[in-house]
Structure 1
Amino acid sequence: MSFCFPINQLRSFSPLNVSFCRKSPACSTLWVCSLQFSKVDWDETPPGELIDDWIVLAQNLFALNSFQIPRRVVYARSLTRLYLHGYSDASEKAVGACIYIRSVDEDGNHSSHLLCAKSKTAPIGKGRSTIPRLELNAAVILARLISNVTAALAKQFHEIRAYGDSQVALAWISGGASRWKTYVGNRVAEIATLLPSINWYHVGTHDNPADIISRGALPVNLKTNALWWHGPNWQHSSPHRDLNDAQRQQVDRERKSVAVGLMVAYQNYFLNEMLTRYYPNKQMLLRVTARLLRFDSRGPERLTSAELDKALLIYVSHTQKSHFSNDINRSKEGKIVSSGSSIRLLDPYLNADGLLRVGGRIRQSELNYDTKHQLLLPRRSIFTCLILYDAQQLSLRTANFASNFSSTFLDTVWDKCGS
């Protein structure tokens, strides 16, 4: 059995580029798309359903001979306002857009007429997209079409509106390009460049003339279709509507994953105030702090050396957290300090008390622990100045300044910050 397809009957011409395959809904194009999707070889007979559809289509193609499409789209005698309205829609088979010019005269009479349209078959096979993505592609076609029309007509329109019946696609457009993944983000960026999101509105499926493009229509039915030739009768629409749970999931599926880095700056205003208040008297600072630490527990009247050492380590920890917070956090995670750290060459490590100490090969020596692994303090801090001042005053009271200064300070603390 052989079956011949009269391809010549698919061709039609109009000086307005108003052909059945372009400005009118492309049933023939959709039929060819269905033929390709069926994966029929060139020498095989198509399925019976496609043959029946082709026979109906071929018989209706002759109705195009009776089509009369006027060139004039503005009929107002005394024109006061001119509107440009565009509509887009998509299906699994095709995407498309159409544009209407609506004119209003001095008496308030208005007329709306189809200006132009564009259709495109949807991808098939492995390149198929979801319906919301196809709706977004239809919106891209509409934005390009509106841009071309406004540039070609060079008219001042009172208002330009774009409509779509996909709330998911409209949510992507209104959300901006930066928050979506690459596929959606690129298309939203192009739409925003051609037509701002404030110009996009929602329209119901039954009032959307572009729905005829995506679904297809026979010429005999299209000839008397007022929705296609003049657009919907209503004039107002809400730009935003609430999304249901399923639509919200479709919107969030294209949301870009953003890694948020949270940096918490260490601050202890009480300890800073204590350092400022009792500077430069280190002994008074440590004694007051030790008394405060003992406030909720009983102990001997005289402070012990252990209590004073505990107070000292509190200020060491406070100073390190204020200046080496990034190095401390990396050490807690088991990482080495960053290459840009000022203490990197000292090979620091975090001891059991959470304090940074000097590391490196010196750990192989036979010196005591505090001498080998000295506490790290920044050069420019009020606590470091307080330690140095106290050590200097103590050394001045003795005959040998250098040796006493070394034994009281440098054996336990390393004053190093980038030098």
Structure 2
Amino acid sequence: MFSDNTLSVYYYLSRFWELDTISSKHKLTPEEKRCEQIFADTTYRESDGRFVVTLPLKEPPTILGDSYNMARHRFISLERRLQKNPILQKLYFDFMREYIELGHMTEINSFDWNSTKSKVAPIKPATMPRLELCAALMGARLHSKVLQSLTLKFNESVFWCDSTIVLGWLSMTPSNLKPFVRHRISEIQDIVGGDCWRYVPSAENPADLVSRGLSADKLAHSSLWWSGPQFLQQDQSIWPQFPRSHDKSTLPETVRIFHVNVDGENVISTLFNRCSNFNALQRIVAFMSRFLKNCKLQNQNRTFGPLTTCELNNSLNLILKICQQESFPEEYNLLTSGKLLPPKNKLLSLSPFLDDNKIIRVGGRLHSSFYDYNVKHPVLLCRSNRICNLIFQIFHHKLFHAGPQLLLASIRHH
């Protein structure tokens, strides 16, 4: 049996453990749940092993207000107040000087802030100008991210590059560059906007310390790395200038553009008086047509090699069409638009019409005959046209100086 004292001790011990028992399942408040959710969604680990944790703010950051402009306004107000009260100004200066002597503050003459980023060159071989261009693009992207992270407003940004080729590309229109360079120059110009690019010598370029490598002890005492080139603290008039003016036509990765002035005259018609042989003229026009066609196609679909019969026939039809447009401009326009010739037109008696190739041919009652199509409906040419003379010359030599009737009949048959 237990005594009263034993029962009281037992009771109090049981009561003690009941009060100090921790629940196996803790119930989180709504704020704690939201905090844990923010931690799970935003916490991540960088490549160097460091964890990045976002502060779980209850309110959005905008509720803090514009602290920079507020601090600036208060600083200017304090400056005006000290200027009006010399005694208060002396006390303020003595207090700040004592803080500096005690080591609580450090006087900073200039604002030094560095943000760098490097990237390993791709495995695929690339030229040095292309690598320099990729570095310029990476710098422009870093500049954009820094501006988005800061609340400060900058009136001007100056970009530096030690590659004269990249600076030459940046001064050109992107449409005059090849695809690899064009895409990156366009992105840089979109990010940078109207800010300027300037030349920096390689010896004064802090980025070269990353690409060429530098030991940790030398980097710790490198003023070029921590403070930038010395000329940045001087007037802009003595900043480095571009060493020489680049001739844009000698830059690599550019597209050569040719301008042809024809003064409103058909390009092919100018060849009529320059060629003395019709076969040569026909082949020249065929190669020109092939070139124009290949310019619109991809490499695997382009045509190469000797001219085909189809290309020569198309060239002949094009020459005859241009010849008729020059000799019979009014009649050709009327027939093309589907209108009838005027009653007193000189070609009306020939019953002209347009064939499938838009060439004027002679109509008439021979369409039901058994003759060849070219015989029934010969092509209409003006005798004073240069093409007509070239055709007669080639058939004259081909038929070994045949007579006029045989020559004319052979031409009409072909």
* TM-score normalised by L of structure 2: 0.40
Higher relative contact order (CA 8 A, sep 6+): 1
* TM-score normalised by L of structure 1: 0.40
Largest Rg, 1 or 2? 2
Q: Identify, as 1 or 2, the structure richer in strand.
A: 1
